[in-house]
Amino acid sequence: MNGFVVGDVAYAVVLGTALGVGACLLVSLAPRWGAPSLARRIAPYVRDVTDPRGLDVSAGAGWSAFAWSAFAARRLGRLAGGEAVLARRLHRAGWTIDPATFRGRQLAWAVAGLGAGGALIVGLVLVGRGSPALGLLPPVAAVAGALSYDAWLTRAARSRAARIEEELPTVLEFLALCLSAGEGILDSLRRVSEVGAGELTAELRGVVVAVGTGSPLAESLSRLASGLEIPALTRAVDQLVAALERGAPLAGVLQAQALDAREDAKRALIERAGRKEIYMLFPLVFLILPLSVLFAVFPGIFMLRLGLG
């Protein structure tokens, strides 16, 4: 009787969820009878600022699903805090979204985890394996979804930083070669950004564009280093900015920084190789050696049990 009641509750949860989703979809498609917002009224007169692509500014107005998600993302960002830190992490990872969009996607991942946990609970209840402890599964799955999206950003930022560190010695040597050939520092940066196709050359392309729009070169380079937060790049940029301010020969400074960057890359490679050697000991100690001992001892134990020893 208890299993029958639990099964009815599970079916009720499934049908109620389907009914709620259908009602939300119908409400989202219903017309809005309220007065248009101020942004919607003035948007056609400032279309070049609000919508440079020339799309319909009335689309998406009102409290649509996108508006609700943006509102929830702003609330989540206020609760989590650190939008400036998140913006730097997004820039370091090379993602072209703003912190509000990231929070919205993180919230969507959390909702997806919550739904997956609820669906798993319903499935377990239907097969007769339900328990009160399963009530913790949906919130745990929601937190796991949000943390997984944040971990994805962290991994993307770490991998992009590693690629920039690998490209740094080559870019510095190319800049030193251009300077030795008689070009200026801005022309050298422009040439490297046009010829290269890596992550660092893309960042240098942004520096060239910023200088072309009126920003000082030293300030643009410092902003680049502070946004990426890579020690080798920060050290090279600091030396380059100091050489620009004091009139030191830039080619020699860049060659020295390229040599230091290659030494850092060599040292990091040796350290990574040392860690890999330690990781290789785990299967040897916990898999191969126990099997070897088992193969050596098991025949003797088997013979003793048979009384043939």
Three-state secondary structure string covering 109-172: HHHHHHHHHHHHHHHHHHCCCCCHHHHHHHHHHHHHHHHHHHHHHHHHHHHHHHHHHHHHHHHH
- Range(s) of the domain holding residue 84: 2-28+64-160
Greater model confidence, 26 or 258: 258
Q: How many CA atoms lie within 13 A of 131 on its CB side?
A: 5
The span from the CA of 132 to the CA of 125, in Å, is 10
Residue 61 confidence (pLDDT) above 50: no
Chain centroid, CA 299 distance in Å: 54
**pLDDT band of 3, cuts 50, 70, 90:** very low
Q: Which long-range contacts (CB under 8 A, 24 or more apart) does 194-203 make?
A: 196/167, 196/171, 198/163, 198/164, 198/167, 198/171, 199/94, 199/160, 199/163, 199/164, 199/167, 200/164, 200/167, 200/168, 200/171, 200/233, 201/167, 201/171, 203/164, 203/228
Residue 71 belongs to a domain: yes
Q: What amino acid is encoded at 281 in this protein? A: L
pLDDT in tens, 96-137: 888 888 988 999 999 899 888 888 887 887 777 767 777 788
Residue 46 belongs to a domain: no
**Mean pLDDT over residues 163-182, rounded?**
88
Residue 96 belongs to a domain: yes
Total of domains in the chain: 1
Residue 6 belongs to a domain: yes
Average pLDDT, the chain: 79
**pLDDT band of 82, cuts 50, 70, 90:** low
Q: Please, is 173 exposed, middle or buried when counting C-beta atoms within 10 Å of its C-beta (0-12, 13-18, 19+)?
A: middle
pLDDT of amino acid 144: 92
Place of tokens 């890596």: 198
pLDDT of amino acid 9: 65
Residue 153 confidence (pLDDT) above 90: yes
pTM summary value: 0.66
Greater model confidence, 195 or 59: 195
Place of tokens 């126990």: 290
Residue 144 belongs to a domain: yes
pLDDT of amino acid 109: 92
Query: Which distant-in-sequence residues (6+ apart) come within 8 Å of 181 by Cβ?
Result: none
Residue 275 belongs to a domain: no
Residue 165 belongs to a domain: no
Residue 180 belongs to a domain: no
Is residue 258 a contact partner of residue 173, using CB atoms and an 8 Å limit? yes
